[in-house]
Copies of this chain bind each other. A is one copy, B any other.
């Protein structure tokens, strides 16, 4: 609009349009209230049914166990078993429903973020969130790789190392937050992988406080090379494998609900996994090696720093957890 009359005409148009927006907004607020009410009643009803189902399961089991006394004919026993399997199915159906209902935050999210709802209420945004999480890890992997390369081969300042460790602390903290959000959204990530990031945060924090000195220099190169390998190289392979899984699962449509057509996915997954596993295990044994190195250093007479023992313990915990969990995951996949 350039002239005065044009401006006034434009304003009139906007005025009319504004009325419309107000109407839409009013409708929106009303629907929003309805949705909130429905959310509450769905969640409430589901948790009440869940409770009753649990009680019923116990009662049915009791009926079965005390069998000879109240006398049941074989059909009755069959129908009990049938109801029992239906109860299990019902539980899964409820989980499916709950994917669209806001969930309570866990303790950690409540501490860090407070009481905001982080449940994404449709499959696309859940997928997009997971995808973003993998991309975030990838970008940080590249940055950390360059950073640790610089520290290892180019510059050797304690302050730069501190910055690197600070970045690690921040990175692991962020991962724990995002993983809590993923879990809230129904991801089946094993508890250990989350806990492992808490331990890593702690470890990086302790590395941060380790003062410059002969002992620090003794461990420095080994630590940085380990970071190059683990955070750079292995994480990259892991990204490739896990985002591959994610996209293939999505292409298959429904997740966690695989049937026969999934064979292609299964074979891809096994190929990826067998390729990945040697590198993973090598990384785990490097953690064990780090821990042994640190415990040996701890026995030196000149060792005064508490950080040495603390890091040693952390690496030991990481090794055991990672190794056992990975073995467990592989065993579980093999049995399916």
Contact = CB atoms under 8 A, between A and B. Distances in A.
A9 B39 CA distance: 28
Nearest to A116: B118
Contact of A63 (B3, B31, B41, B97): B3
Interface in A225-278: none
A52 B14 contact: yes
Contact of A14 (B29, B53, B97, B115): B53
User: Can you list the 6 inter-chain pairs with the closest CB atoms, starting with the nearest?
Assistant: A211-B211, A28-B38, A162-B209, A1-B59, A21-B45, A116-B118
Main secondary structure of the interface of A (DSSP, over half): helix
Interface string A100-113: 10000000000111
Interface string A166-183: 100100011001100100
B114 A32 contact: no
Contacts of A138: none
A114 B100 contact: no
21 contacts: A1-B59, A3-B70, A8-B83, A10-B52, A10-B56, A17-B45, A24-B42, A25-B97, A25-B100, A28-B38, A28-B100, A31-B38, A32-B35, A112-B174, A113-B178, A114-B181, A116-B118, A118-B118, A166-B205, A209-B209, A211-B212
A121 interface: yes
Each complex incorporates copies of this chain amounting to 2
Contact of A114 (B63, B83, B136): B136
Nearest to A60: B7
B116 A63 contact: no
A14 B114 contact: no
Contacts of A153: none
Interface stretch (A72-80, A189-197, A328-336): A72-80
Interface residues of A, number: 82
A184 to B, nearest CB: 9
Contact of A31 (B31, B53, B59, B70): B31
Contacts of A60: 7
A317 B21 CA distance: 45
Nearest to A53: B14
Given A4-B76, A20-B45, A113-B177, 17 more contacts: A1-B56, A2-B59, A4-B70, A7-B83, A8-B79, A14-B52, A28-B35, A28-B42, A29-B100, A31-B34, A112-B177, A114-B132, A114-B178, A162-B209, A169-B169, A205-B208, A211-B211
